[in-house]
Amino acid sequence: MSEAAQHTIAHVERILAVIFGLVVLGVALVALKNDWHSKGIENQVFKMMLGLLALGAFLAILAAFNVLAGHGVEV
């Protein structure tokens, strides 16, 4: 595959990651808000995991924008 084609694919991947990342972030935050007053041990775990899911989506968006990139990655 040519280098130009690889760049195009990476570009499309980044755009999709940002769009779907924003959707997931929004859904996770709304679900967290709706479940905020729920009781029971599993619901407490659900709330914690929804929060971490939102954090993950946020990190993926930043990574797609190249705001966050580690040392061993291709940007």
Contacts with another protein by CB under 8 A lie at: 9-11, 13-14, 16-17, 20-21, 23-24, 27-28, 31, 41-42, 45-46, 49-50, 52-53, 55-57, 59-60, 63-64, 66, 68-75
Closer residue to another protein, CB minimum distance, 4 or 41: 41
Query: What is the token pair recorded at 4?
Result: 């130009």
Q: How far apart are CA 17 and CA 11, in angstroms?
A: 10
Provide CB contacts within 8 A for 69, sequence distance 6+: 63, 75
Q: Measured from the CB of residue 2, what is the shortest distance to another protein in angstroms? A: 15
